[in-house]
Structure 1
Amino acid sequence: MPDKIDPPHATGAAEQTVQKHSSPHDLVFHAPFVQRVWIALEEKGIPYEYKEVNPYKKEPHFLKINPKGLVPALEHDNKALYESLVLLEYLDDAFPDSAIRPRNPHELGLVRLACQQISNVVVPAFYRYVQAQEADKQKEGHEAFVKALREVHEQWFVVGSEWARGDKFGWVDCVLGPWVARFTLLEKHRGFKPEDVGPEFKAWCDKLLDRPSVKATSSLPENYENVYRRYFENTAESEVAKATRKGEWLK
């Protein structure tokens, strides 16, 4: 019988941010441990209520919000949406004065393409890498993950810019940022280092981890260790883990 799994909670700086957003509000952010939308909320500086979902015991109300039972999800004026890229779009549509997406339509199209590539290529490569058990599979996973990151960096990052697409922190930084926050786990368990991708990418990673919105939404390292331990052991039973074992990706 599997050992008891405690539901994850925000800790450290993330817990302090949760406490600041514990009062009822008409904009409700459902988490935990999902940073893309949370980083965007902090960047935008808009009021919201944070609610933690127990991923191992989802309440009926949350399943009405997202039938998949996955976070992140938002409720705004009693209407619900989910999926992180959709939520980034929605937040900038609903609160345009604090939009973090580009105004130029062509640039916005490029940003959307970059975000899709991160979600459809980089993130699945991350999970295949962490769930690989045999040495040869881990080596393949390492090479594939580095390749995926390098292609995103070479294709979509603006050379010499402060952030991914220029001098303004934006969607691409939000979408890739949470995985950078998990690189310490990859270094510990798989030997990955961001400099494997390249020195410019490593410099961006360092700057991103020092960004106030990223710091404010990051929990203590030991909490990520607890959450991802079962992935590194390939015993996790999440929908993402099961899809990865089948060679698929969760849609």
Structure 2
Amino acid sequence: MSSQKSYHTKATGDAAVTVANHLAETSLKLYGSCFCPFVQRVWIALEAKEMPYQYIEVDPYEKPQSLLEVNPRGLVPALRHGDWGCYESNILMEYLEDLKGGTPLLPDDPKTRAHCRLWADHINRNVVPGFYRLLQEQDPDKQVEHAMELRKAFDTLIKAADAKGPFFLGPDISFVDVQAAPWVIRLRRVMKPYRGWPDAEDGTRWAEWVNAIDSNKHVQATTSTDELYLDSYARYAENRPNTSQVANAINSGRGLP
């Protein structure tokens, strides 16, 4: 792949339309960047919950002061709600649930809520770092090893899902699906062209889940064109120095920032 590919700073396709529809000033503001999967999970949640929000598109490598006031580290996603701000995608998704606005993504039953949080934790401990380990690995033999590890992490998640589906808890998208969705849609758009990730096997529960996520209207509304992801993730696939704090953490064996 060409080393000249660079990350994009503006959403494209359906995501650009969604950005344009959320430029008006509101008390709830999401700071995001178009290629960041951590941003997308919060963005999907906002769309699924149909909550009014303002989307503020930023270049994560050129951090505006308004973002730094919310998150001094300058990382996205960040959320400002009135005079209060917070960051970290998992925390923000929980916060949106606590607001009790719009369609809930977590069920009412405490045991099922705990079940969802357990598998969201699995995604963050295994799927997300596994994705970056595979994408950044330059050794072909180790790529095979990391691909097997990532598929195992996904398979473990699918085994815990509702048998009928198509989503994790059944017919509707919910918290666990949203947690994983940005990396699921990047399998075809990023991992397939850069690491030969295979398409989901027709007729499997895995394929049913992948297709349900990919075709969900809230996921689609926050997804840019394929070219944006192909270009923006070239730096990860080539493991360029200082690509991001996430990439640096993977390379050093540390936990994700």
Flag the structure with more relative contact order, 1 or 2, with Cα contacts below 8 A and sequence separation at least 6.
Answer: 2
* Residue identity opposite 1:166 in structure 2: G
- How many percent identity over aligned positions? 37
**Partners in 1 of 2:202 and 2:126 — Cα distance?**
15
- Give the total of aligned pairs: 249
* Residue identity opposite 1:175 in structure 2: Q
Could you tell me which residue of structure 1 aligns to residue 172 of structure 2? 168
Secondary structure in structure 1 of the residue aligned to 2:91: helix
Q: Tell me by how many angstroms 1:166 deviates.
A: 2.1
Q: Tell me by how many angstroms 1:3 deviates.
A: 6.9
Cα separation, partners in 2 of 1:236 and 1:219, compared to 1, 3 Å: farther
* Residue identity opposite 2:166 in structure 1: E
TM-score when scaled to structure 2?
A: 0.91
Q: Tell me by how many angstroms 1:61 deviates.
A: 2.3
**Partners in 1 of 2:237 and 2:213 — Cα distance?**
25
Q: Tell me by how many angstroms 1:84 deviates.
A: 1.0
Q: Are residues 1:107 and 2:107 paired?
A: no
Could you tell me which residue of structure 2 aligns to residue 245 of structure 1? 251
Could you tell me which residue of structure 1 aligns to residue 25 of structure 2? 24
Cα shift readout 1:189-233 (whole Å, capped 9, x = no counterpart): 111125379821111111211110011000011101111001000
Secondary structure in structure 2 of the residue aligned to 1:98: coil
Cα RMSD over matched residues?
1.9
Gaps of 5+ in 1: none
Secondary structure in structure 2 of the residue aligned to 1:57: coil
Mean Cα deviation higher: 45-54 or 89-98: 89-98
Q: Are residues 1:15 and 2:21 paired?
A: no
Residues 44-83 of structure 1: matches in 2 within 5 Å?
Answer: 44-83=49-88
Question: Which of 183, 192, 201 is 1:187 aligned to?
Answer: 192
**Partners in 1 of 2:202 and 2:166 — Cα distance?**
18
Question: Which of 209, 214, 217 is 2:222 aligned to?
Answer: 217
Mean Cα deviation higher: 132-141 or 57-66: 57-66
**Partners in 2 of 1:31 and 1:236 — Cα distance?**
23
* Residue identity opposite 1:131 in structure 2: Q
Cα shift readout 1:34-64 (whole Å, capped 9, x = no counterpart): 2101111111111110001211111222112
**Partners in 2 of 1:4 and 1:57 — Cα distance?**
18
Secondary structure in structure 1 of the residue aligned to 2:200: helix
Could you tell me which residue of structure 1 aligns to residue 47 of structure 2? 42
- The answer to whether the 8 Å contact 1:146/1:197 transfers is no
- The answer to whether the 8 Å contact 1:31/1:72 transfers is yes
Cα separation, partners in 2 of 1:198 and 1:123, compared to 1, 3 Å: farther
Cα shift readout 1:67-106 (whole Å, capped 9, x = no counterpart): 2211111111121011111111111111345322111001
